[in-house]
Amino acid sequence: MKIANKEISAESLVREALEKVKKYADYNIFTFVNEEGALKKAKQIDAAISRGEKVGRLAGVPYALKDIFLSREGDTTASAHILEGCASPVTATAVEKLEAEGAIMIGRTNLDAFAHGSSTENSYFGPTLNAYDKERVAGGSSGGSAVAVALNIVEFATGTDTGGSIRQPASFNGVYGFKPTYGTISRYGVVAMASSLDCIGFFTRTPEDMDLLMSIASGQDPKDMTTLPDYYNLSTGSNAAASPIDANPPARTIGIVKDFDNDAVDINIRNALKEKCELLKSKGYEIVELEMPVLRYALATYYIIQPAEVASNLSRYDGVRYGFRSEKSGGLNELYENTRNEGFMPENKRRIMIGNFVLSSGFYDAYFLKAAKARTLIIKEYEKAFQKCDFILTPVSPNPAFKLGEKVNDPVAMYLEDLMSVSLNLAGVPGLAIPAGFAPDGRALGLQLVGPRRSDKALIEFSKELR
Ligand code: GLN
C-alpha cells in the first residue's frame, strides 16, 4: 500500500532487505541471494507506479523462497549436493502467483536436504542458527525461511510441510507458520518429498498477512491433480453463503488433547498452553479435553508412509538427468551408485533404505499396508474430535529449540520432535503455528491450532483471538 502510494519505493525496501541479508550472514539463512534480480524488479515496479499503472497486491514486497521451489531465479538445490548446479526449466505455480502480484524474491533459504529433518542440520550447506539463540537450532526443515521472517529480513517466506516443517521452525522462532488443508496450494514445481503428505504454506509475522498470502496462492491448478477449487476462499469471506463452514455459528468450543499434556512436554510449553486456555475461557470459549488415543500411532505410521514415498520420489536422481554427477569412473551402475552415494546426505539415504524395505514384497503387508490402515484410523480420529469441538489447540513439538548437535546423531530423538505435528499431514487437516511468548531463558514458544478440512480461513481468523 505504502509503495503504491509512493510513500516508499520498492527499490528502497529491497535495498533494506539486502542490507539485512548481509548483516545477518552468520545465521546461514540463505543458499542464494537474488541481489541483481530483486533490484531489477523493484525498479520496474517503481517505474510502473510512477507511470500511474495499477500494481499487484504484493507490489515491491520482499520475500524469501525455501530452496525447494523451482524458479528461474537461482538454482534449486533443496540444500542437497545432488541437485547443485541444476537450473530449473520451470517455475512453481505458487511462485508464479506471488510474483504476478509483484512480490520480490530476495533469496533462497536453507533447509534440511530434501526437507528431511527437524533442525536444518541435515543441510549440505550447514545449519541455520535460531533467531533468538545462536547456539540453538532453527528447527526444520524450513529453518532458513522461519529465521528470515523472525529477524525481519523479509515480510514473508514460503515453506513446505510434510510432517511439521513449517509449524515447528515457526514455533522455534516465534512467528506464524501455516500448513493448509492438503491440496489447497499447488505442489507443481516444488521438489517432492512425500507426495500424499506435502503441503505448501507460509511464514508471516501476522495472521492478516497469512490470510492475504493464502488467498493469493491457493486454487486449482491443472498441473497438480490434487489441488482443490477455490478451497481457501470458500471457507468464509466473499463466498460465505456457499460455504458449509459458515452455515455454522463461529467457533465456540476448543479442544485440547489429553495425551499431549504430560511430563514429557516442556513445562514452558505446558504453561503457555494453560495461559492461552485461560485467555479463551475469559473470552467465553468452552475448553474440552479430548481423548485421541489413535494419535499415539501417528509417528510410527508417518515414519513408514513418508519414507516409502521418499524412496520413490528420490529414485529419479541418478546423475544423468539432474545436477551433480560423480567423477569416479565405472559403468552405468557405478555412475548411479557413486552419484547417489556422494550426492545424498546420510538422512536421505536412511529414508531411501527404510522406504524400500517397507515397500518390499516380503514386508509390504506387515509395514506399508498396516500403516495405510492406521492412517485411515487417524483421519477418523480427527473427524470424531471435530464433532466435539470447533478447533484444537496443542503444542507443536514437545520442546522449544534444542542445542545445535544435540540430536543430529540420534535419528530417533530427532523423529520424536515430530510427535505432535505429523498426524495433521496424515489426516490432511490444516494447522497453524502461532507465537506463544517466551521461556524465561529467552527461547520462543509456539502452539498449534488445528481445524477440520476446509476450515483454513476460519482457523486463521480465529487465531487473532489468541494474540
Ligand atoms: N521433521 C519431519 C521429517 O523429518 C517433517 C519434515 C517435513 O515436514 N518436511 O520428516
pLDDT in tens, the chain (467 residues): 567 666 799 999 999 999 999 999 999 999 999 999 999 999 999 999 999 999 999 999 999 999 999 999 999 999 999 999 889 999 999 999 999 999 999 999 999 999 999 999 999 999 999 999 999 999 999 999 999 999 999 999 999 999 999 999 999 999 999 999 999 999 999 999 999 999 999 999 999 999 999 999 999 999 999 999 876 765 443 333 334 444 455 679 999 999 898 888 999 999 999 999 999 999 999 999 999 999 999 999 999 999 999 999 999 999 898 889 999 988 999 999 999 999 999 999 999 999 999 999 999 999 999 999 999 999 999 999 999 999 999 999 999 999 999 999 999 999 999 999 999 999 999 999 999 999 999 999 999 999 999 899 999 999 999 99
**Distance of CA 303 from the midpoint of ligand 1 (Å):** 10
Would the CB of 118 count as within 6 Å of ligand 1? yes
115 lines ligand 1 (CB under 6 A): yes
**Residue pointed to by grid coordinates 555412475:** 335
204 within ligand 1 shell (Cβ under 6 A): no
Pocket test for ligand 1, best of 110, 114, 116 (most atoms within 8 A of CB): 116
Atom of ligand 1 nearest to the CA of 306: 10
| Paired strand residues for 66 | 109
How many beta carbons lie within 10 A of that of residue 416, not counting itself?
A: 16
Contacts of 333 (CB under 8 A, 6+ apart): none
Instruction: Kindly provide the b/e burial profile for residues 425-444, where b requires at least 16 CB atoms within 10 angstroms of the residue's own CB.
Output: bbbbbbbbbbbbeebeeebb
Please work out whether the CB of residue 164 comes within 6 Å of at least one atom of ligand 1. Answer: yes
Q: Which atom of ligand 1 lies nearest, measured to the CA of 161?
A: 8
Residue 255's identity, in one-letter code, is G
Terminal CA-CA length for the chain: 24
Q: How many CA atoms lie within 13 A of 271 on its CB side?
A: 9
What local confidence, expressed as pLDDT, does residue 234 receive? 56
Q: Which atom of ligand 1 is nearest to the CA of 302?
A: 10
The answer to pTM > 0.85 is: yes
Distance CA 325, CA 355 (A): 24
Helix ranges (H only) for 104-185 are: 143-150, 167-172
Beta bridge partners of 448: 394, 433
Cis peptide before 235 (omega within 30 of 0): no
Judge if the beta carbon of residue 233 lies within 6 A of ligand 1: no
Nearest to 95 by CA among 74, 124, 125, 123: 74
117 lines ligand 1 (CB under 6 A): yes
306 pocket-lining for ligand 1 (C-beta < 6 Å)? yes
Output the CA 161–ligand 1 centroid distance in Å: 7
Q: In a mutational test of the pocket of ligand 1, which residue from 66, 122, 141 has the highest number of ligand atoms less than 8 Å from its CB?
A: 141
Residue numbers annotated as active site: 66, 141, 165
